[in-house]
Amino acid sequence: MVVLHALSDFIDCNFAISDLSPSYWYEGRCLQSGDRLRLPRTSMSEAIAHGLMQQLSKNDCYSREGKMYGVLLVELPNGEQRVLKAFSGLLNGCSLVTGWVPPIPGRDEVALEEARTLAELDAIKQEILCLKQLTERQQYETLSDEFERQLQAMSDRHRHCKHQRQEKRQQICNTLPPETLTIALEQLDEESRQQGIERRQLKRQQNEVLQPLQQLIAATDARISELKQQRKALSRQLQAQMQASYSLTNFLGRSLSLQQLMPGGSPTGTGDCCAPKLLHYAATHNLKPLAMAEFWWGASSVNQDKIPGEFYGACIERCQPLMGFLLSGLRPNPPLPFPGREEVTLPIIYEDEWLIAVNKPAGLLSVPGRYSDRQDSVLSRLRHLLPDGMALVSVHRLDQETSGILLLARDRQTHRQLSQQFQQHQVHKVYEAVLSGVAIAEQGVIDLPLWGDPENRPYQKVDWQNGKPSLTNFQVMVREQDYTRVEFTPLTGRTHQLRVHAADVRGLGIAILGDRLYGCDAVTSRLHLHARELHFEHPKLEKTLYLKAITPF
């Protein structure tokens, strides 16, 4: 089976590397020596990955099933360079697919047990879904609501009757003789008793109707809970079997099982990710790894917030704990405060004792992310490089793939004053973008409310009910063959505002070049969106600052 591929299968033979600096490092410490080991993601490996994306885009079967894919650039003993490619988990239900790196040894040993267990898990899943769709649940809700409505109507009527009886008692006590008064009061008391009986009868009827349904629903919920426990136990049993069977090999030639590498247990799927597959194959076939890149392709991942076409680092739970072992045998790298800090500069546009503005490069976060592989950012680097860096606070943010002016405050008071200007739309912002098509309109205003679906972050969409008001002025600068260069002036600052207003058919209807999240299929080196100008009132100097960063594309 052909697994090693020529570079020409993914990139043009005349491909020129424009940026030698790694955009990410796969890293870990050798378990024996403690040396820090790193493998880069470079512009070359990203270009190879983009070539693979183009291949995947030509077959719908890859788009239906969202998963991670990876490429590894390797060097053969004779010095030639080749490419390995891998997918995480299964591809259309198969673990072994022609042209792709095979799974790590161990899966075959538990294949029958895995298939049996997966079938049991699927049967449990289907039973749970069926039980959750129990028709008696809706019936109970409908009947319960109807009884509550009847009880409320009865209570309102009884309350009105009680008020009338009280008024009648006061009236007859002053007008009727004693003999007649006694009879009249007994009649009023009897009316009160009858209404109490009426209420108790309705409550009894409610219990008689709803109690059997409640018991059935409770029994169903107990069964669902039991099935979930069975599912958890089966998953743990299968995972333990796979951990004991899976054997990983590093570049020292040493092999260990997942159980030995992660004795405390590991999440389901550990060992099936792209990076371990690629590195294990390279180590067992005398191939020297040069650079690696992993990306998500296919249906967007709701639970993991994965974006199709975006690059990702080693996952924290499954891959990162294995990196130190897998990279052992490679030449150790000296420690750096942040990956690639020397190679990527942060040009300072303006600086004084209160604030600092930098020209953020595309691909760098504005502020650190949640996980350890997303700590490198403008804020992190400045905090490390500047004497007063730890006091810095970001006033606003730019998307990771957007370049341009980013403003940071050097003290809390300045941050508060600048933030207030942004919140009150007193800051004038100008962006420049290249659209992946020819725009018809010359200029105008796009007014489309935006809403971020919490189950599909970070994707934003136009939503007239839930969306927040979002306004953008646009002006076509020039049309260049099949592209349009546009100047955007956002009047509000919503997440992905310019990207959605450009891509949505009710806006310009053309995605920004390189914006895979919103429908651009063109293979480019970056998102063509740049924060070019920023005008605001300096909170201390009482003058307007006009900042500008030359558009790099």
Question: Where is the domain boundary, 240, 257, 290?
Answer: 240
d(CA 529, CA 498): 9
Give the pLDDT score at 491: 94
Give the pLDDT score at 358: 95
Residues 411 and 502 in one domain: yes
Omega prior to 458 cis, within 30 of 0: yes
Highest mean pLDDT out of 57-71, 312-326, 348-362, 380-394:
348-362
More confident residue, 93 or 429: 429
Give the pLDDT score at 150: 93
Whether 125 is in a domain gets the answer no
What integer is the mean pLDDT of 206-234?
Answer: 93
Residues 310 and 352 in one domain: no
Residue 342: pLDDT over 70: no
Residues 386 and 494 in one domain: yes
pLDDT in tens, 442-457: 999 999 999 987 777 7
What integer is the mean pLDDT of 452-479?
Answer: 89
- Phi-psi domain of 309 (left: phi exceeds 0; alpha: psi -120 through 50; beta: other): left
Q: What is the CATH number of the domain that holds 529?
A: 3.30.2350.10
Residues 198 and 259 in one domain: no
**pTM above 0.75?**
no
Whether 537 is in a domain gets the answer yes
Residues 401 and 533 in one domain: yes
d(CA 253, CA 326): 10
Give the pLDDT score at 476: 95
Residue 94: pLDDT over 80: yes
Residue 304: pLDDT over 70: no
pLDDT in tens, 243-252: 677 788 999 8
The range of the structural domain enclosing residue 461 comes to 348-548
Whether 117 is in a domain gets the answer no
Residue 124: pLDDT over 80: yes
Question: Where is the domain boundary, 218, 240, 262?
Answer: 240
Residues 358 and 495 in one domain: yes
Residues 227 and 261 in one domain: no
Whether 114 is in a domain gets the answer no
Average pLDDT score over the chain: 86
Least confident of 31-35, 144-148, 195-199: 31-35
Active-site residues: which are they? 399
CB-CB contact of 448 with 506 (8 Å): yes
More confident residue, 317 or 208: 208
Whether 321 is in a domain gets the answer yes
Whether 124 is in a domain gets the answer no
What integer is the mean pLDDT of 204-230?
Answer: 93
Residues 284 and 389 in one domain: no
Helices and strands of the chain, counted as H and E runs: 11, 20
d(CA 434, CA 402): 12
Q: Alpha helices, DSSP H only, in 133-177?
A: 135-175
Spatial CA neighbour of 47 closest among 73, 14, 10: 10
Percent of the chain with pLDDT over 70: 91
Give the pLDDT score at 303: 45
| Length of the chain counted residue by residue | 553
What integer is the mean pLDDT of 413-430?
Answer: 93
Q: Residue 209 in 3-state DSSP?
A: helix
Question: Where is the domain boundary, 240, 261, 286?
Answer: 240
Q: What is the phi/psi pair of residue 377, to 5°?
A: -160, 170
Residues 442 and 497 in one domain: yes
Give the pLDDT score at 343: 41
Residue 68: pLDDT over 70: yes
Whether 176 is in a domain gets the answer yes
Residues 406 and 496 in one domain: yes
Residue 338: pLDDT over 70: no
What integer is the mean pLDDT of 415-433?
Answer: 94
Residues 383 and 435 in one domain: yes
Residues 405 and 508 in one domain: yes
What integer is the mean pLDDT of 23-37?
Answer: 80
Residue 539: pLDDT over 60: yes
If one counts the domains in the chain, the total is 3
Whether 341 is in a domain gets the answer no
